Amino acid sequence: MLVIGLTGGIATGKSTVSSLLRAHHLPIVDADVLARKVVEPGTPALAQIVRAFGRDVLLPDGSLDRAKLGRIVFADEARRKQLNAIVHPAVRRAMFWSILRCWWRGERVCILDVPLLIEGGLWKWVAKVVVVYCSADIQLQRPMKRDKSSREDASARLSAQLPITEKVQYADVVIDNSGTPQELERQVDQFVQRIMKEAGWSWRLSWLFPPWGVISAMGTLGWRALRRSQKAKPRRR
């Protein structure tokens, strides 16, 4: 099974691309959805958050008060790291089981929709990295129009993330969302045709004979590691 990491930046259109891929009946593992599920009432992650931040971060119904917790961690990097140390491992475990279920169903391709794919290091563990890109000016204007935010607020939000130009350096495929919706759909259609062709017939062998799937995955990751080291050499010079 071909596991593909999908990422982007604020207002680049990653969610739109994810929806278009879903319309092609490709399974999507959405990290944002899983991040909400792993902190639902009764989960180990929520219990850890309460121990670390106190019961004040809970709503009356026992669910997480995301707005209040967000204000706490936004102003304190140490607290943000503490929260990430709780939530990120739980999300990764949930992603692993979601990928496994896709493989069990015999899917040829699985899309991991992860906003922090690059920052969190998960890009190293996928067969391909897809970055949804748009120009810096468009990326700034979109949240201003959508959220009615000021230029300063929009710039501050963008500055809190890794610049999209840096994310593109990790990409195997770049989908440019600077144009019209029709142009974006055309790029997604072409991408789907490409990955389905690349998935080929070997996915059936991996499904029928799991050890082959493990060997194939290790080979893919090894090849990617080699390519990364070769790309890094010119930058170090």
Structure tokens at 136: 């810096």
Q: Pick the residue with more confidence: 226 or 123?
A: 123
Beta bridge partners of 30: 113
User: Residue 232: pLDDT above 70?
Assistant: no
Each residue's pLDDT tens digit, 91-120: 999 999 999 899 888 888 999 999 999 988
Question: Is the model's pLDDT at 65 over the cut of 80?
Answer: yes
Examine the pLDDT at 85 and tell me if it is beyond 70. Answer: yes
Q: Is the pLDDT of residue 230 over 80?
A: no
pTM, full prediction: 0.81
Least confident of 21-25, 39-43, 200-204: 200-204
Mean pLDDT of 36-54: 96
Mean pLDDT along residues 149-157: 76
pLDDT at 61: 95
- Domain residue ranges of the chain, discontinuous segments joined by +: 1-27+108-199, 34-106
Q: Would you give the DSSP letter of residue 62?
A: S
The per-residue pLDDT for 153 is 77
Angle among Cα 204, 206, 209 to the nearest 5 degrees reads 105
Tell me the pLDDT band of 217, cut-offs 50, 70 and 90: low
164-179 average pLDDT score: 94
Q: In angstroms, rounded to a whole number, what is the distance separating the alpha carbons of residues 80 and 136? A: 27
- 8 compared with 223, residue with greater pLDDT: 8
Amino acid letter for position 130: V
- The CATH number of the domain covering residues in 1-27+108-199: 3.40.50.300
What pLDDT sits at residue 226?
Answer: 61
Q: Token pair for residue 154? A: 């929009």
pLDDT-based confidence at residue 33 (cuts at 50, 70, 90): very high
pLDDT of residue 237: 46
The pLDDT of residue 156: 75
As a whole number of angstroms, the distance between CA 222 and CA 227 comes to: 9
Q: Is the pLDDT of residue 14 over 90?
A: yes
Mean pLDDT of the chain: 86
Percent of the chain residues topping a pLDDT of 90: 57
Q: What is the pLDDT of residue 110?
A: 94
